[in-house]
Amino acid sequence: MGDERKQSKHLVLIASPFQGHMTPMLQLGSVLHSKGFSITIAHTKLNSPDPSNHPEFEFLELFDNFLAIDASAHFTKFLELLNNNCKKQLQDLLIQKIQQSNKMMMITIIYDNIMYFAEEVARNLNLPIIVLRSCSASYMPAFLALPKLHAQGQFPVQDSIRDKFVPELYPLRYKDLPFNNTSSEVVQEIIALSGRNRIPSAIIWNTMDFLENSSLTKLQKHYKIPIFSIGPLNELAQCPSTSFLKEDTDCISWLDKQAPRSVIYVSLGSLATMDEKELAEIAWGLADSNQAFLWVVRPGSVKGSDWIEFLPSSFLEEVRGRGLVLKWAPQKQVLAHFAVGGFWSHCGWNSSLESISQGVPMMCWPFLGDQYVNSRYLSCVWQVGLELECLERNAIVIIIRRLLGDDEGKEIRQRAINMKEKANCCLWKGGSSFNDLNNLVEFILSN
Ligand code: UDP
């Protein structure tokens, strides 16, 4: 562990204010700290991590001038402003750090891909730089194909081709493309953003070789720089809570009282939003399924409402004792609980990896960005989940019964359990992620 080379190397990790990005960055910090490196987490004031949960890190706060994330229509503008606001501050803080430290300290920057201002800072200060990708590898070829599809008039996706396969991206259909439900204006902005010249010296990917080998091979050819796939970080890291919202841990004692694999856990992540009608369909679908459920409804996730106050009292009466609705769950603990038999998810990559790591079969209902690709891979390629075709109560009941009930559900569960074992094997001595982590450590030390 703590040899001199590692002690003289300081890693500055640039985290982004999204829950799904902050979590793997903090996990990566813990993993690299356990390998003997000293770690600074540079983070925005918006959605900052709780330093008391991570006494092993030093923290650098960047004042981003934002009060909230605008993940809707002006997302790319938000990213641009975020990057502009943080650039000079990081550079000044790093210069200060270098001047204050002894001459032997060498810094490597590891940045979240959406905090791309870090590239310019690294270039200006002549520091090595590595990017952390917290999405699936399978998403990236689809994302990289967007400019060509756009030029061919196939993106944004027209209704007439939504169900057709995209040539060269099989088994993705047009409706599985990232950002497929986004407006034409935003699509053009996303494409312009993706065309920026990115020059990290290596990529860290939160995935496993056995799961995404063919996508990783494609990406290796595309980027022509080392790619270290060291996931699943959620299992590798010994990290306390990384949640921005308070986790309601009372749900664990409620789960303790349920029968093994009887509960469907429902959580649609930190960004998805819906209207009251859609939430009501979920509510009545869960009620009509007659299955026990644990349902996270994030405050503010229903447009025009604070929480679930608009649901009729007959809903809560009908599901009393069988259903629990909460604002934010300790998700890793929930997925590891014996009572959980299925996970209705938006297929964010962290949630997908957390579910895979626990062998929990999934019900897939993507909302935005990379989630469409993840959903397709989970249901069609890895076959550890079922796709929900529409957000309608009867369709929900049918899928829940298929997932938790009959022979089909048992087969999916068995595949999920097999996948869990393979995912764990990656982290053991000699496993692909174990080896890539050691390669990453060597790479950091030699650059
Ligand atoms: N999460 C949680 N409690 C909840 C819902 C989500 O702790 O009630 C965590 C979840 O474990 C995951 C993260 O929030 O690590 C969500 O990231 P993901 O990539 O799945 O989706 P995103 O939020 O980016 O859409």
Position in ligand 1 atom list of the atom nearest CA 369 = 25
Mean pLDDT of 145-173: 94
Q: Calculate how far, in angstroms, residue 353's C-alpha sits from the geometric centre of ligand 1.
A: 11
In the predicted structure, residue 320 carries a pLDDT above the cut 60: yes
Q: Which residue ranges form the domains of the chain, and what is each CATH number?
A: 2-153+187-241+429-445 (3.40.50.2000), 250-424 (3.40.50.2000)
The rounded radius of gyration (Å) of the Cα atoms in the chain is 22
Band (pLDDT 50/70/90 cuts) for residue 186 is: confident
Sign of the Cα pseudo-torsion (326, 327, 332, 335, in order): positive
Question: Distance (Å, rounded) from C-alpha 396 to C-alpha 446?
Answer: 53
What confidence score (pLDDT) does residue 301 get?
95
Mean pLDDT value of segment 30-38: 96
Report the sign of the C-alpha dihedral through residues 24, 30, 36, 41, in that order: positive
Distance (Å, rounded) from C-alpha 371 to C-alpha 433? 23
Distances (CA, A) of 383 to 156, 211, 213, 269, 352: 28, 12, 16, 21, 13
DSSP states along 81-137: HHHHHHHHHHHHHHHHHHHHS-TT-EEEEEEETT-THHHHHHHHHT--EEEEE-S-T
Q: What is the pLDDT of residues 268-277, one digit of tens each?
A: 999 999 999 9
Per-residue pLDDT at 390:
95
Distance separating alpha carbons of residues 396 and 398, to the nearest angstrom: 5
Q: Does the CB atom of residue 149 touch ligand 1 within 6 A?
A: no
How far is 400 from 386, CA to CA, in rounded Å?
9
How much is the pLDDT for 198? 65
CA distances from 388 to 20, 142, 158, 193, 268 (A): 22, 21, 21, 31, 13
Q: Copy the structure tokens of residue 40.
A: 């600074």
301-to-63, 290, 308, 326, 347 alpha-carbon distances in Å? 26, 25, 10, 13, 16
Q: Is 357 in the pocket of ligand 1 (CB under 6 A)?
A: no
Per the rule left: phi > 0, alpha: psi between -120 and 50, beta: everything else, 311 is beta
Of 243 and 73, the one with more pLDDT:
243
Cβ count within 10 A of residue 414: 13
- Residue 73's pLDDT band (cuts 50, 70, 90): low
Q: Which of 104 and 319 is assigned the larger pLDDT?
A: 319
Name the DSSP letter for residue 307: S
pLDDT given for residue 1 in this prediction: 47
Task: Give the closest residue to 282 by CA, choosing from 325, 321, 334, 250.
Answer: 325
- Stretch 65-87: mean pLDDT: 77
CA angle 376, 379, 383 (to 5 degrees): 135
pLDDT for 42 beyond 90: yes
269 close to ligand 1 (CB < 6 Angstrom): yes
Q: Which of 362, 405, 406, 392 is nearest to 285 (CA)?
A: 392
Higher pLDDT, 79 or 419: 419
Q: What is the pLDDT of residues 201-255, one digit of tens each?
A: 999 999 999 999 999 999 999 999 999 999 999 999 988 899 999 999 999 999 9
Question: Is there an atom of ligand 1 within 6 Å of 289 CB?
Answer: no
Which residue, judged by its Cα, is nearest atom 13 of ligand 1? Answer: 20
Predicted pLDDT of residue 181? 81
Centroid of chain to Cα 151: 29
295 lines ligand 1 (CB under 6 A): no
> What proportion of the chain, given as a percentage, has pLDDT over 90?
84
Give 105's pLDDT tier (boundaries 50, 70, 90): confident
* Interatomic CA distance for residues 155 and 204, integer angstroms: 29
- Residue of minimum CA distance from atom 24 in ligand 1: 20
pTM strictly above 0.85: yes
- pLDDT band of 71, cuts 50, 70, 90: low
pLDDT tens string 333-385: 999 999 999 999 999 999 999 999 999 999 999 999 999 999 999 999 999 99
Q: Which of 121, 119, 113 is nearest to 89 (CA)?
A: 121
Q: In a mutational test of the pocket of ligand 1, which residue from 18, 19, 50 has the highest number of ligand atoms less than 8 Å from its CB?
A: 19
CA–CA separation, 28 and 32 (whole Å) = 6
Beta bridge partners of 44: 62
Report the residue count for the chain.
447
**Predicted pLDDT at 129:** 96
> Whole-number mean pLDDT of the chain?
93
Give the residue from 61, 50, 58 showing the smallest Cα distance to 93.
61
Best residue among 21, 324, 334, 351 to mutate for probing ligand 1's pocket (most ligand atoms within 8 Å of CB) is 351
Determine contact, residues 427/236, Cβ cutoff 8 Å: yes
Between the CA of 79 and the centroid of ligand 1 the distance, in Å, is: 20
**Is 370's C-beta closer than 6 angstroms to any atom of ligand 1?**
no
Q: What is the pLDDT, as a whole number, of residue 32?
A: 97
